[in-house]
Amino acid sequence: MWFSNRRHLLPSLSRREERKKKKTMNEPRKNSTRRWVLALASVASFMISLDLQVVATALPTIHRSLGASIEQLEWTVNAYVLSFAVLLMTGTALGDRFGRRRLFVGGLVLFVVASAACALAPTIGWLISARALQGAGAALIFPLALTLVSAAFPPAQRGRALGIFGSISGLALIAGPVVGGAVAQGLAWQWIFWLNVPIGLLVMALVLGNVPESFGGRAALDMGGLLLVTGAALLIVWGLVRSNAAGWDSLEVVATLLAGVVLGVAFVVWELRAHAPMIPMRFFRSRSFSAGNAANFLFMGAVFGTLFFLAQFLQNAQGYGPLAAGLRLLPWTGCLFVIAPIAGSLVDRVGERPLIVSGLLLQAVGLAWIALVARPGLAYAELVVPLLIAGCGAALAWPTTQNVVVSAVAADEIGKASGTFSMLRQLGGAFGVAVLAAVFAGVGGFRTAGAFSHGFTAAMSVAAALSLVGAIAGLLLPSRRDTAVVRTTARPERREQEPRGTPERSPSR
The DSSP string of 141-203 is HHHHHHHHHHHHS-HHHHHHHHHHHHHHHHHHHHHHHHHHHHHHHHS-TTHHHHTHHHHHHHH
Q: Which CATH architecture has domain 280-494?
A: Up-down Bundle (1.20)
Q: CB 9: neighbour CB atoms within 10 A?
A: 9
Q: CA of 468: how far to CAs of 343, 360, 465, 471, in Å?
A: 20, 6, 5, 5
User: What would the CATH number be for the domain defined by 30-216?
Assistant: 1.20.1250.20
C-alpha radius of gyration, the chain, whole number: 25
Same fold, 30-216 and 280-494: yes
The residue ranges of DSSP E strands in 424-508, in sequence order, are none
What confidence tens digit (pLDDT) does each residue in 94-152 have? Answer: 777 788 888 899 999 999 999 999 999 899 989 999 998 998 898 888 888 877 877 77
**Which of 25-29, 167-171, 221-225, 338-342 shows the highest mean pLDDT?**
221-225
Domain boundaries, the chain: 30-216, 223-275, 280-494
The candidate with the shortest Cα–Cα distance to 341, out of 386, 403, 284, is 403
Q: Closest Cα to residue 288, out of 466, 490, 429?
A: 490
171 phi, psi to nearest 5 deg:
-60, -25
Using the predicted structure, report yes or no on whether residue 509 has a pLDDT greater than 50.
no
Question: Tens digit of pLDDT for each residue in 169-194?
Answer: 767 777 777 777 788 777 888 888 89
**Residue 415 — pLDDT band, cuts 50, 70, 90?**
low
Average pLDDT over residues 69-81: 82
- 3-class DSSP state for residue 279? coil
Which one of 1-15, 146-160, 288-302, 477-491 scores highest in mean pLDDT? 288-302
Instruction: Report the alpha-carbon distance of residue 466 to residue 482 in Å, rounded.
Output: 27
pLDDT greater than 50 at residue 239: yes
Position 93 confidence tier, pLDDT thresholds 50, 70, 90: confident
pLDDT, residue 234, reads: 79
Helices and strands in the chain: count of H runs, count of E runs: 19, 0
With a cut of 90, say whether residue 80 has pLDDT above it: no
3-class secondary-structure state, position 14: helix
Cβ count within 10 A of residue 427: 24
- Asked whether the CA dihedral 318, 324, 329, 331 is positive or negative, the reply is negative
Q: Are 436 and 357 in contact (CB under 8 A)?
A: no
pLDDT exceeds cutoff 60 at 482:
no
Percent with pLDDT over 90 in the chain: 19
Handedness of CA 134, 136, 142, 148 (dihedral sign): negative
Please state, in angstroms and as integers, the Cα–Cα distance from residue 351 to each residue in 166, 420, 476, following that order.
Answer: 21, 22, 13
pTM for this entry: 0.75
pLDDT tens per residue across span 206-234: 988 888 887 766 666 778 887 888 788 77
Element (H, E) at 407: none
- Confidence band for 488, pLDDT divided at 50, 70 and 90: very low
